[in-house]
């Protein structure tokens, strides 16, 4: 199978970290492509009309997207344990959604800085996106630390990739300030071989 991917995409990194943690990296060929929301048609990504990364071209079926679908598919292929049974499944999927939401807001901010001329940057909108990130980080710090320290699951992988993306694109915002437990968790999580091997 082929993963259409970019090293700087936190969503794509999530899939790569998942494949690595599952021990199936050699079965996932990476195809590096650059996307640009202003001209999605210029970077055709087979099977994904949205033109977005990550997209997984499968050997035995149609392409699949987006990152929650791909991660779950990879876990099925590997018969992995990244999706717990019972009630914990819902907390895991909610954590994944929270982390994906951080990535969404952080990506929108990065696109505003990168794609719009500086004189058109809209500060209230940028701050609105950052407020989403900040509230999500506060929620991780106050409600999710016990889950984050539990058995490895896709929610933790998504959280690690979201925090790595904040360091990559929004380091000046200092997300660690006032969130010592989350910062401490990330320091350890970021040293996992799967995170080190996928560092953008």
Ligand X SMILES: N[C@@H](CCC(=O)N[C@@H](CS)C(=O)NCC(=O)O)C(=O)O
Residues of the shown chain interacting with ligand X in the complex, contacts defined by CB under 6 A? 9, 11, 35, 37, 40, 51-54, 66-67, 100, 107
Tell the smallest beta-carbon distance from residue 181 to ligand X (Å): 26
Instruction: Please name the residue ranges forming H helices in the chain.
Output: 10-22, 67-78, 87-115, 123-143, 145-148, 154-170, 180-189, 193-197
Tell the smallest beta-carbon distance from residue 177 to ligand X (Å): 25
Tell the smallest beta-carbon distance from residue 184 to ligand X (Å): 27
**Residue 11 vs 185, nearer CB to ligand X:** 11
**Residue 51 vs 164, nearer CB to ligand X:** 51
**Residue 84 vs 101, nearer CB to ligand X:** 101
**Residue 107 vs 133, nearer CB to ligand X:** 107
Residue with tokens 């953008």: 200
From residue 200, alpha-carbon distances to 5, 33, 90, 150, 187 in Å are 12, 14, 30, 26, 16
Tell the smallest beta-carbon distance from residue 158 to ligand X (Å): 9
Which of 136, 63, 128, 148 is closest to 100 using CA atoms? 136
Residue with the closest Cβ to ligand X? 66
CA 138 to chain centre: 18
């Amino acid at each position: 199978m082929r993963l259409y991917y970019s090293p700087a995409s936190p969503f794509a990194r999530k899939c790569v970290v998942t494949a690595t943690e599952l021990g199936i990296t050699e079965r996932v060929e990476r195809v590096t492509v650059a996307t640009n929301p202003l001209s999605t048609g210029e970077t055709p990504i087979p099977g994904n009309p949205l033109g977005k990364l990550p997209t997984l071209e499968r050997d035995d079926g149609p392409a699949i997207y987006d990152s929650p679908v791909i991660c779950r598919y990879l876990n099925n292929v590997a018969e992995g344990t990244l999706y717990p049974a019972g009630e914990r499944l819902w907390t895991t999927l909610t954590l994944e959604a929270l982390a994906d939401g951080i990535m969404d807001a952080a990506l929108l901010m990065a696109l505003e800085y990168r794609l719009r001329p500086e004189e058109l940057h809209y500060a209230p909108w940028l701050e609105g996106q950052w407020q989403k990130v900040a509230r999500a980080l506060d929620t991780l710090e106050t409600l999710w630390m016990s889950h984050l320290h539990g058995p490895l699951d896709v929610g933790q992988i998504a959280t690690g990739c979201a925090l790595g993306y904040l360091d990559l694109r929004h380091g000046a915002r200092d997300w660690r300030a006032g969130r010592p437990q989350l910062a401490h968790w990330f320091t350890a999580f970021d040293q996992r071989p799967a995170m080190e091997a996928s560092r953008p």
